[in-house]
Structure 1
């Protein structure tokens, strides 16, 4: 059995990583919905159809909502949301690399790393 002090540490790390992931995804989803200049510049490198941009924002926002549900005790929903975000940002990073948009590839790479960390913490918890 894991000592109580280690359980508390694990939970604190899970909460901290997940709160950061929720905040980051919610903020960028909101910025995408309002077509913030830095988002438009990042997505402009990929030659994406305009109609797809709100879908990307909605998927990211739903990921943040799912991570929040995981924090509130719905562990399976939190894990599913983290898996979805890992897939979303894995595809986003691949799209940036395929388009040779290296300048803007750091953003999806950072979010992918954050999503992997949130997933790992949710599974270990």
Structure 2
């Protein structure tokens, strides 16, 4: 269970990081909609990549994985708040990412 949930979380966040870092249009339009400068998009991508790397490192050093999952939880709470701040109720994606990150933290702590 631990490995599966952590791999799924790393896959989700890693995929998102790639989209942010390659300059895909979706993160840019999301930033525009939320009133976030486009110059922040690569920074957000790096945060996602760091979280992904931390989740993977958690297989060797559990504390790193737990800290990474905690950081990702904060990241996705921030994403939800950013949506709600501008009146967007389209938060299902961020909620799914939040749930998977929280699941990774929970199974790591229970291990």
State the TM-score, normalizing by the size of structure 1: 0.84
> Which one of 77, 96, 106 corresponds to residue 120 of structure 1?
106
Deviations 1:36-86 (A, max 9, x none): 233333332101112211110000000000000002x20010000000000
Match of 2:89 in 1: 102
Q: Secondary structure at the match of 1:35?
A: coil
| Contact in 1 for aligned 2:31/2:37 (Cα 8 Å) | no
Unaligned runs of at least 5 residues, structure 2: none
Could you say which structure has the larger radius of gyration? Answer: 1
Change (3 A) 1:101 1:35: farther
Structure 1 residue ranges without an equivalent (≥5): 1-12
Alignment match, 1:70: 58
Query: In the TM superposition, what is the alpha-carbon distance from 1:18 to its structure 2 partner?
Result: 0.3
Q: State the TM-score, normalizing by the size of structure 2.
A: 0.93
